[in-house]
Amino acid sequence: MSERRAEIIELFSSIQGEGLLVGLRQAFLRFHGCNLACSYCDTRHGNLPGTALLEVTPGRRDFNPEQNPVALEKVVDTLNLWLRGWPGIHHSISITGGEPLINVEVLREWLPELQRLLPIYLETNGILYHVLEELIPNIDFISMDIKLPSSSGCTDLWEKHREFLQIASQKTVFVKMVICDATEDWEVMRAGELIADVDPAISCILQPMSCNDGTVGVRPLRMLELQEIAAGLLADVRVIPQTHKFIGQL
C-alpha cells in the first residue's frame, strides 16, 4: 500500500446532492485546497486543519480526528469497515475538494487502491487536463464544471475546459454549470457549443445558485430560458438544484 500521505479535510458518507448521480449514496473523500477562487465557493480554503475528520459509522457524523497529512491506510481501513458492515449502500467514492486534482502525486498512488474498493467518481473544476490525462485510467465517473464568468467570477477558462472535456469523454462524464440571475445567454450558448464540439450526447446540468436558506436563487422562468438555449445544442440538458441544501444536512 502507498505510504504517501494526503492533506484531507474529511471522509464521510452521504447522498450525492448534485448532478447526474443525484440521490445515490457515496463515500466523500474531501481534499484540502483549490487552484481557483470562485465567488460562490462554500468550501474552506484556509490553512490545512491539523486533523482530518474520518467518520466511523457511515452517515452518522461520529467523526474520529486523524492527524494531517493522513495515511492512505487510515482511509482504506475506514472504507473497509463500511463495506463490511453496510454492504451495498455506497455507489462510489467521490473524490472531491477543493480541487482534488492539485494532489496529483497522491492520487497517482491512491486511486488504484481506492478503485479496488468502489468505483471512483471525480468532482472537479475541469481545468487541470494534463493531470486528468495521467489519472483517467483509475477514474470511472467525472463531474466537471464549466465556470461561467457571471456566477463564478472566473474568466478565460474556456480552452482549458475544452481540453479537459475532450479527455474526460473517454469515461462517463457530465458537465455542471452554476447559474445565477446575472448569467447571460451567450455564456450558456458558448458552453453548449463547447460541449457539443466534443460530443452533443454529453449530459449538461444547469444548477441554479442556492441561497443561504437552501432555496433556489434564480427565477424559474430564467432557468427555462437557459435550458432552451442549451437544449438547442445538446441532447440532455437538465435543471437540477443542489438537493442536499433543501433536504438538510445528510
Footprint of ligand SF4 on this chain (CB under 6 A)?
34, 36-38, 41, 43, 97-99, 125
> Given the complex with ligand SF4, which of 78 and 143 has the nearer CB atom?
143
> Given the complex with ligand SF4, which of 26 and 78 has the nearer CB atom?
26
CB 191 within 8 A of CB 148: yes
Dihedral sign of CA atoms 32, 34, 38, 39 in order: positive
> Given the complex with ligand SF4, which of 37 and 56 has the nearer CB atom?
37
Grid cell at residue 28: 466523500
> Cβ 94 to ligand SF4, closest distance in Å?
13
Residue 131 is inside which H or E element, if any? helix 129-135
> Cβ 135 to ligand SF4, closest distance in Å?
17
> Cβ 70 to ligand SF4, closest distance in Å?
19
Nearest-CA neighbor of 168 among 196, 147, 143? 143
> Given the complex with ligand SF4, which of 36 and 189 has the nearer CB atom?
36
Nearest-CA neighbor of 90 among 124, 57, 64, 119? 119
> Cβ 37 to ligand SF4, closest distance in Å?
5
